[in-house]
Amino acid sequence: MKTMKSRFMLVTIWLVAAACCCAGAAAASEDFALDVDKRLEGMARSWRQGYAPAVRGNTMTLHLPLRPGSAVGAINARLILPDGAGTAFEQAEIEQSVSANRDRSYPLRFTIPLFADRCNGLYACRVEIAGQDDDGKPLKTAFPVSIAIRDGAAEQEVSPLRIVSLLAEEGLKPGAEGALTLLLRNTSATQEATGIVLSLADSAGQILPRGSDTLRLPRLLPGEEHSLAWPVTVLAGADARPYQVQVRLSYRDFAGTLQEQSEQFTLNVSHTIALHHSAPAFPAVVRQGSVSDYVVTLMNMGDGDLRHVLLTFDVPGFASGQSVLAGEIPRDESRTVKAALTAGYDTLGDVQGNVRVRYEDAYGTQGAVDIPLTAVIEEKPASAPAQEQAPEQPPAKAPDAAAWLPWALAGALLLGFVAQSIILRRRIRCLEEEGL
């Protein structure tokens, strides 16, 4: 047994994906599917039992027993190997034609030359099969295989895994459940990672994993990436602000060494923003040149205060771009906004426009709501012609005070004289009566 082990270098191969046929009919009949239970000559074990290709010197022998499906006659098989920098294989392609055995299976056997200075790693390869059925219809199938070499030089690449992003696509709200999406990528061309464990921690203790605080992934092949969903809960008392969370990552590299790393990510917790409005008040019919009041009540139905609330009018026939600043609207409060709109002279008839209300919360999260505005602009009636009027007479001139003053004095003297005469005559009559 020790002699056998010394003759066979330590090389392992995994079938990463089952055969997938390019044509629908081939997929339905499973043409050229790998027979994981069959052992060909030269195979110590079946694929199900853990078959490993043999390597002698710098040559590898790979066996692939295939089920025929609906294929008949000889088939053409091609093994496509990586040929970039650092590859372990001397040839980029190996092709052969194979006839069926008595049991109609196809015994594929590839002899692969290896570089003497090859490096350890997991190398992605591809097998392409082409044949035909009884009717001469072409059949094509392709499937990937990954060949792991462990007897070469140690790979110097460190930390092939990278956490690309951690996002809360639906947003995080205080007192609500949410979900984070983590994208993990294996940036290596030859190094796989196994036993992957991820953990999440928020130093503020406001964003908590729902259920387990760890995620596990059994394997990530070279060049592969995987998206994981991480359910979380935000505590009800959490402030609406950015939070720093730490993701810890541990895994075993291709050599079996435990690797650990951590990364910081920023997640935003925001309040629900909800601005509602009443039915706006505005005349249905206006005249050209008239000024009409537009009145609407804005109601803050969200979880926080709103600020910089601005109404912008875009209505044909009126002053386009006119804005009115409503300012700040505290939580659970409303504000009535009034704007004076002047109908222009260049538009008549039905007009339809929009009043856009822009706002933001205390953390800069912005929002907007559109309020439709319709009206009918009527033509201003022409002014009535001026009626003919008689020429105005100049007002009577008031008499001069110096002219009538002497006459007034004379009248006064005359009245005084008459009064004295009457008094004197009464006295004389009284004396006469007494003398009698």
> How far is the CA of 14 from the CAs of 135, 186, 188, 208, 222, in angstroms?
34, 18, 18, 38, 13
The residue length of the chain stands at 436
pLDDT at 244: 93
DSSP assignment, residue 198? E
The set of residues, in sequence order, having a beta carbon less than 8 Å from that of 281 and lying 6+ positions away, is 293, 294, 295, 296
pLDDT at 403: 64
pLDDT at 368: 93
pLDDT at 398: 56
DSSP assignment, residue 281? B
Is-contact 250 184, C-beta < 8 A? no
Encoded tokens for 228: 């994981």
Q: CA 199 to CA 266: how far, in whole Å?
A: 15
Q: CA 142 to CA 93: how far, in whole Å?
A: 14
Q: Phi and psi at residue 395, in whole multiples of 5°? A: -65, 145
Pairing of strands 366-378, 285-287: parallel
Is-contact 163 263, C-beta < 8 A? yes
> Mean pLDDT in each 10-residue stretch from start to end of the chain (436 residues)?
38 41 38 86 88 86 89 90 81 88 89 87 86 89 82 69 90 89 89 91 91 90 90 89 93 87 91 88 89 92 88 85 88 91 86 92 85 88 59 58 67 74 75 65
Q: CA 314 to CA 340: how far, in whole Å?
A: 14
Is-contact 88 146, C-beta < 8 A? no
Q: CA 101 to CA 131: how far, in whole Å?
A: 15
Q: CA 99 to CA 383: how far, in whole Å?
A: 104
Encoded tokens for 209: 């994993």
> How many CA atoms, within 13 angstroms, populate the side-chain half-sphere of residue 385?
3
> How far is the CA of 424 from the CAs of 81, 159, 412, in angstroms?
158, 144, 18
Residue position matching structure tokens 């990672």: 193
Q: CA 114 to CA 61: how far, in whole Å?
A: 11
pLDDT at 264: 94
In the chain, what are the domains? Answer: 2-149 (2.60.40.10), 161-268 (2.60.40.10), 275-378 (2.60.40.10)
Q: CA 305 to CA 360: how far, in whole Å?
A: 9
pTM of the complete model: 0.56
DSSP assignment, residue 195? E
